[in-house]
Structure 1
Amino acid sequence: MADVIGGLSTDAFTPKGGKVDLDPLVKAQPAVARAAKTVARAERDASAIDTSDTLSPVTSAVNQLRNALRSASDEVDTADRVVQLAPAMLGNEGERNYVLLFQNNAELRAGGGIPGAVALLKVQDGAISLGDQAAGSSFGPYDESVLPLDPGTRTLYGEITGRYMQDVTLTPRFDLSAELTREMWKQKFGQQVDGVLAVDPVTLSYILRATGPVQLPTGDRLTADNAVQFLLSDVYAKYPDPSVQDLFFASAASAVFDKVSTGSFDAKQFVSALTQGEQEGRLRLWSATKAEQAQLEGTPLAGDLPVATTSLRQFGVYLNDGTASKMDYYLEKTVSVGASVCRADGRPTSAVEVTITNSAPADAATSLPEYVTGGGLSGTAPGKIKTLVAVYAPEGSIYLGSTQDGRQAPVQTVMDGEHPVVQLQTLLAPGESTTFRVAFLGDQKEAKAAVDVLSTPGAKQSKVLPLRFDCADPTPAD
């Protein structure tokens, strides 16, 4: 594999004349695939070594080998997915068309943000161009969901998930969001697309680190430093007309895209930007081709629900705006998670704690534009933020209990497929915070697994913190 890809660099894939040369990737496919299988087999062999009775130097050496192979396996697996997927998805075997969703984190959806602008991405033999563009609000409302929804989705997020383009990301399941998007695009434009890509303004700010500033037709200058605040906050004061806002968002995305498609960017910074966006859950990709989608599954790009293995136990914390406004620019979130074996049968108890804060100015009701506060039209007083917080556990988990600010609180308990979900609604005035804690019981085979949390990406990225709790009461109440 080193012989094959050693001569490649990020610069080799920089568009030249608006086109990426896909031949190096195609040529690398067989060798990288063989390497991925070999390293994966070596990792399995190393994991099977019995060190229960070995001397400490031998045990240490085996652990070093396992760590090295684990790291190498992850990297080779990623390389294999890239070289197998990229040529076909970039039109090496014929034209591809994708719907591009621009998600707005100022109005949160579980999958990221409300799809404010939608565009067609056309790809053929490495050449990429933007086609039709439309506001998310121009799709629907449809009389009924464009595709059948399962009971869990309808109960948690409502039939509107499949009736409005702006609501397709109410569910954290990006595969479902993408299928609904694809069908809505077909009904509006009569075109069956090959996949769906989602991106948010924070990822655009990362990309601007690679491209440098872009000048917009409005005269505004978008940079890596001002993009998030401008796109998620300032724009509403400067351009109060929603139709003008839609045009502004479309022009901003087009300007960044045009610079990327011409190759006018730092390739290493660009790859770093996409990687960061992917790892933070801000960049999603779905393919209508089953074999390609199977390759995407299990990666951050896929937007999968939490999973549990013997080494990792994931939870999900997903936020949906209930204010019908753009106040979520001011919503701050902290997530903590911890696990402990508290029972004689060895089954682990896990607790997830979510703290959200309305950091809007005290006079938000009058100092912020009505379009941002919602003006009270949805039933929420201006300046306040209404949020639905859903905590997902992996399949097979058992819900143990929950509290809000140390007190029992009314919650909704639902199964989304095989995933237990606990959902709470909050209403916060400027400066107010609330803390929601949920506990679940896991399977015995996951007792030694590390714990982590997938979470809705907001305007600011939040870290996952460790959480310690008393086994006697993982969700303590006053």
Structure 2
Amino acid sequence: MVVAALGVLAIVGAGAWLAVRAREARSAVEALRVDGKTLQSQLQAYDLTAAGETLTRVRADAQRAHRLTGDPVWGAAGYVPVLGRDLRAAREVSAVMADITGAARPLEQALPRLNPSGSAGDQGQLDVTALRAMADAMPELSAAVSSGAVRVNELDPSGLRPEVADGVTTLNAALKSARGPFADAVPLLEQLPGMLGADQEKTWIVLLQQDAEARGTGGLVGAFAELRTQDGRMRLADAESRGKLDRGPLIPASAVPSSLRAHYGKDLTEWAGFNASPHFPHTGELAASGWHARTDQQADFVAGVDQNVVAAMLAATGPVKVRDVTVDSSNAVNFLSKGVYARWQNPGDVDAVTTELVEAVFGKFSKGEFSLPTLIKSLREPIRERRLLLWANDDEVESQLEQLSISGTIPGDPGPFAMAVINNGGGNKMDAYLQVDTRYDPGTCINSARVGQISVTLDNTAPKDGEGLPSYVNVRTDLIQRGYTGKAVRDGSNRIVLDIYGPVGSSAVLTQLDGTTTVPVTGTDNNHPVWRLSIPIAAGQTRTVNVVMSTPVVEDDAGQIPVVLSQPMVKPATSSAKPLTACKTSSVVGG
């Protein structure tokens, strides 16, 4: 946005006074352009010490340009025909830039204190006072960016000189794109000092979810880490396999709504299945409840991570060695999804190796042996894919987090929505070979309801007959428990428990599996109706579930794009949606 201001402010003034002022304004804007590019490069390189100094110069450049274009004479010249439009644009843009850089002033002192070379070099300590200063500044900065976006958007580039119009258009786009991220950063930054133990020590439970055996929030919890944060430092207190939790006591399921307990049953009381719902706040509540029952201690935060997050962390720490196997960012996903099962056949060994990996990675973070810039960059995609999830035991903090995608919430408001949720029903690791695709067609209107369809395609990409797959991966535990033996229990097949989440207030009119009508088990989760089918699927087989649903019409919803969320899977799930069409006020089919 700084660079874009150049094309707006570089205007040749009219008359001797305006000519002088215009030359001075061009000089200020040129300095703003140069310093703006330098600042951008420094922020991308996370050289925060230099960025703080450059931000001070950028503010001075912007204020100088604002002074030169903001006095009464320049303002009066803005009403001159033709030329006045350019002068008014210059005046408005310079004011916007001065407001934004003025609001960012506290960052000039805070950024150097958060420089990665310092934070990772002092046992991983982050300066929580500097973080708090940033948090205090962010609401005003976010408001300045938001206000600036509105003000620049009101400038009509069609009547401006080409170089000025290009600058207005570019700056307008930059402010619009920055508006959302700045607003999103406010709640997280406000809570971050507390998360890092600025006021008192905090206990974190980090769950490693292994997506090869799917669960609603990602995968089966294979290992966990207990972390403590205080004064900006993180300490690894413990790392264990889930087996330690399995020894009991059971998780008190009363922590979640009765409607959820009715649908997911006793799975919610067991550490092997408590994260069956995709709504991560449920998982957080259950984990904290189970932790308290086990230790009589409070877990302040619960985080869920999967193999992609571990890979991002390894990008920041560098490789670790686990039982003579070097695991790094390039092979971590494959190692945790498939490789660990191929190398170690005994389930106890798999759990032990997974735990050792968790301990090694978090141990490096505890010692400050990581690159903060690399971590931030590497986590962008896992966060976007809902692979890093966070819950807070404090209601006020949690309400702030639930404004962000990292909370893993399933929105409970009316509107077009769909999500295909996979829970492994075969007792194996075959979900590493499952491809899920969800399509949402909002359909047309009949009376006061919209009749649409959610289609979910399941593709088992496992090799024919399960050839070459480790027995631990390929086993059908569900069939063994029913007395089956032989090839049938290790043929690359699987059983999928599919829960389709529909729009709030909707009901299923027709449910089909591969074109044959069937009756789903129905339930409710966070206001959403849930339709469940238990689906056997052979190696190489594709199966399709269609749910035709009736949804109450919401006024003025035409053109709205449905929300289709994807569960984290080893093979990333895909989705598509059609926008809603307008409903006709008719007693017959509309749309």
TM normalised by structure 1 equals 0.85
- Tell whether the 8 Å contact from 1:346 to 1:444 is kept in structure 2 after alignment: no
- 5+ residue gaps in structure 2? 1-102, 161-166, 583-591
In the alignment, does 2:280 pair up with 1:174? yes
- Tell whether the 8 Å contact from 1:346 to 1:447 is kept in structure 2 after alignment: no
Q: Which residue matches 1:461?
A: 572
In the alignment, does 2:399 pair up with 1:288? no
- Tell whether the 8 Å contact from 1:213 to 1:223 is kept in structure 2 after alignment: yes
- Tell whether the 8 Å contact from 2:128 to 2:232 is kept in structure 1 after alignment: yes
In the alignment, does 2:194 pair up with 1:83? no
The correspondence for 2:495, drawn from 372, 386, 390, is 386
Q: Which residue matches 2:433?
A: 330
After superposition, the Cα gap between the structure-2 partners of 1:150 and 1:79, relative to the gap in structure 1 and judged at 3 Å, is: closer
After superposition, the Cα gap between the structure-2 partners of 1:386 and 1:72, relative to the gap in structure 1 and judged at 3 Å, is: same
In the alignment, does 2:521 pair up with 1:412? yes
SS for the counterpart of 1:444 is coil
1:195-249: per-residue Cα shift (whole Å, max 9, x none)? 1011011211233233332222x11100222212211212123222222222111
- Tell whether the 8 Å contact from 1:326 to 1:374 is kept in structure 2 after alignment: no
Query: Sequence identity, in percent?
Result: 26
The correspondence for 2:254, drawn from 139, 142, 147, is 147
- Deviation larger for 98-107 or 33-42: 33-42
Q: Which residue matches 1:396?
A: 505
Q: CA deviation at 1:14?
A: 4.2
- Mapping of residues 81-160 of structure 1, within 5 Å: 81-140=187-246, 142=249, 145-160=252-267
Task: Determine the C-alpha separation between the residues in 2 that align with 1:144 and 1:115.
Answer: 14
What amino acid maps onto 2:292 in structure 1?
K
- Tell whether the 8 Å contact from 2:256 to 2:285 is kept in structure 1 after alignment: no
What amino acid maps onto 1:286 in structure 2?
W
What amino acid maps onto 1:20 in structure 2?
L
The correspondence for 2:463, drawn from 350, 355, 361, is 361
- Tell whether the 8 Å contact from 1:306 to 1:392 is kept in structure 2 after alignment: no
Q: CA deviation at 1:43?
A: 7.0
Q: What do you get for the CA RMSD once the two structures are aligned?
A: 3.4
Task: Determine the C-alpha separation between the residues in 1 that align with 2:241 and 2:216.
Answer: 20
Task: Determine the C-alpha separation between the residues in 2 that align with 1:14 and 1:347.
Answer: 56
Q: In the comparison of the two structures, how many residue pairs are matched?
A: 461
Task: Determine the C-alpha separation between the residues in 1 that align with 2:278 and 2:546.
Answer: 20
1:349-408: per-residue Cα shift (whole Å, max 9, x none)? 543322111111113277422454245434483221111111212423344433222332
Q: Which residue matches 2:107?
A: 5
Q: CA deviation at 1:65?
A: 9.0
Structure with higher Rg: it is 2
SS for the counterpart of 2:510 is strand
Q: CA deviation at 1:414?
A: 2.2
SS for the counterpart of 1:114 is strand
* Structure with the largest fraction of helix: 2
What amino acid maps onto 1:424 in structure 2?
L
- 5+ residue gaps in structure 1? 472-478
Task: Determine the C-alpha separation between the residues in 2 that align with 1:289 and 1:257.
Answer: 24
Q: CA deviation at 1:433?
A: 1.0
More RCO (CA 8 Å, sep 6+): 1
- Deviation larger for 415-424 or 260-269: 260-269
- Deviation larger for 119-128 or 358-367: 358-367
SS for the counterpart of 2:181 is helix
SS for the counterpart of 1:450 is coil
After superposition, the Cα gap between the structure-2 partners of 1:393 and 1:22, relative to the gap in structure 1 and judged at 3 Å, is: same
Q: CA deviation at 1:73?
A: 2.6
Task: Determine the C-alpha separation between the residues in 1 that align with 2:353 and 2:213.
Answer: 17
After superposition, the Cα gap between the structure-2 partners of 1:446 and 1:378, relative to the gap in structure 1 and judged at 3 Å, is: farther
SS for the counterpart of 1:237 is helix
Q: CA deviation at 1:308?
A: 5.1
- Tell whether the 8 Å contact from 1:145 to 1:159 is kept in structure 2 after alignment: no
In the alignment, does 2:320 pair up with 1:209? no
- Deviation larger for 7-16 or 368-377: 7-16
Q: Which residue matches 2:43?
A: none
Q: CA deviation at 1:344?
A: 6.5
SS for the counterpart of 1:215 is strand
After superposition, the Cα gap between the structure-2 partners of 1:293 and 1:148, relative to the gap in structure 1 and judged at 3 Å, is: closer
